[in-house]
Each structure stands twice: as structure tokens, then as C-alpha cells.
């Protein structure tokens, strides 16, 4: 993906790297860590985020091969500007024991099936619902924010064994979730991935 980087973004990354050495991270991990920090101006994400480089490599390949991207809310979709996304929140309804966000995840899974990249930045119940499905995701970016259910849902994601990007604190949100996906989207595709 050819992308023109604005001088303000370049300067932001320069300042970030002056304050935090990210050179020890593998390439895709570094890309995700730096873009998340850039989106939130929060250096603590360097030690709060949890991910595996091999999983990121496979997700990166799937993303660039055209795997669907599903988001939990329109705010996450708004942050992913160079890729179409699926968000079914407008079609969802809450019911007994089911939030709108959880129902939206069910609807999205019915639409896209297995192999998608899931980007959840708002609703812990959306992440919890995804974990009940046999979604076989390429990656789950599970970064919901909040004091109720966020930490627990992210811990459950890590325990599930699914390929994931998560964090251990209550922090998260739409901006950081979309930033994590954008890091993979903007990272160059290697010749090995295209052959």
C-alpha cells in the first residue's frame, strides 16, 4: 500500500522514538506498538499490549490477501480509512442476556464466516460473544475499553488461544483498536507474501 505520510505524523513518530526505544520489537509488533502509542499518546501501551509476531505475520498476509475486516462499532470503522469493514451494530437488537453489540457480532459472523480479522475496541460483550463462536479468525484485535468487563474479556481472549492483539489494562478504545489494524494494513507486504 502506497501511503503518503504527513509531516506531522513523521514528527510524532520521531518524538515517540526519542522517548521510547522500540527497536527491540520484531517488525510487525513494533508497527502495532508504535501506531497504538501514536493514536493515544500513551507510552504505557509498550508494556500493556500482548501479541505474537508469528500470529501478526499470518494476519498481515490474510489482510493483504483480502480477508474481511469486522468491527464492533462505527467509530472503529471510521478509524480504518483504507479498507472496507463490516459493522452490523445498526441491524442488531438487544434481547434477554444479549447486548446489541453481542448480537451484531453474531450477525457479522453469519455474513463473513471464518477467517476474518475482528477489531473490537468498544464493547467487552462483543469480544465475549466472538469467543463463543467458531469463527476461526485470522486475528482478533481485542482492545475494548472500560471498567466493567474489559479486562476480563481481554484475559479470556488470551486464554482462548486465538491469534490476538490485546492488552492487560482497562485501557483501549476505538482509536487504539483501529490503529492496531492500520499498523498491519500500512506495513509493507514482503515478496514472500506475494509469491
Residue 167, φ and ψ in degrees, nearest 5: -145, 160
Burial class (CB in 10 A: 0-12, 13-18, 19+), 157: buried
Q: Is the CB of residue 38 less than 8 Å from the CB of residue 182?
A: no
| Residues designated as active site | 38
- In angstroms, the Cα distances linking 8 to 12, 13, 33, 78, 179 are 6, 9, 19, 20, 16
Q: Give 101's DSSP letter.
A: H
Is residue 2 classed as helix, strand or coil in its secondary structure? coil
- Euclidean distance between CA atoms 69 and 62, whole angstroms: 10
Whole-angstrom distance between the N-terminal and C-terminal Cα of the chain?
Answer: 16
Distance separating alpha carbons of residues 91 and 153, to the nearest angstrom: 23
Q: Which residue has the cell 463490516?
A: 86
H or E stretch covering 117 = strand 117-120
Amino acid at each position: 500500500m502506497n501511503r503518503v505520510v504527513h509531516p506531522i505524523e513523521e514528527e510524532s513518530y520521531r518524538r515517540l522514538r526519542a522517548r521510547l526505544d522500540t527497536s527491540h520489537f520484531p517488525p510487525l509488533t513494533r508497527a502495532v506498538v508504535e501506531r497504538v502509542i501514536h493514536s493515544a499518546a500513551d507510552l504505557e501501551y509498550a508494556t500493556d499490549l500482548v501479541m505474537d509476531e508469528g500470529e501478526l505475520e499470518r494476519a498481515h498476509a490474510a489482510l493483504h490477501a483480502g480477508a474481511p475486516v469486522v468491527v464492533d462499532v462505527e467509530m472503529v470503522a471510521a478509524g480504518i480509512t483504507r479498507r472496507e469493514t463490516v459493522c452490523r451494530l445498526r441491524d442488531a437488537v438487544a434481547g434477554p442476556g444479549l447486548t446489541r453489540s453481542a448480537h451484531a457480532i453474531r450477525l457479522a459472523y453469519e455474513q463473513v464466516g471464518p477467517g476474518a480479522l475482528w477489531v473490537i475496541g468498544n464493547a467487552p460483550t462483543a469480544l465475549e460473544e466472538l469467543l463463543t463462536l467458531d469463527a476461526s479468525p485470522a486475528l482478533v484485535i481485542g482492545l475494548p475499553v472500560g471498567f466493567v468487563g474489559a479486562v476480563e474479556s481481554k484475559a479470556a481472549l488470551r486464554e482462548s488461544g486465538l491469534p490476538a492483539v490485546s492488552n492487560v489494562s482497562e485501557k483501549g478504545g476505538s482509536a487504539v483498536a483501529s490503529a492496531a489494524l492500520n499498523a498491519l494494513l500500512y506495513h509493507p507486504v514482503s515478496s514472500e507474501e506475494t509469491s
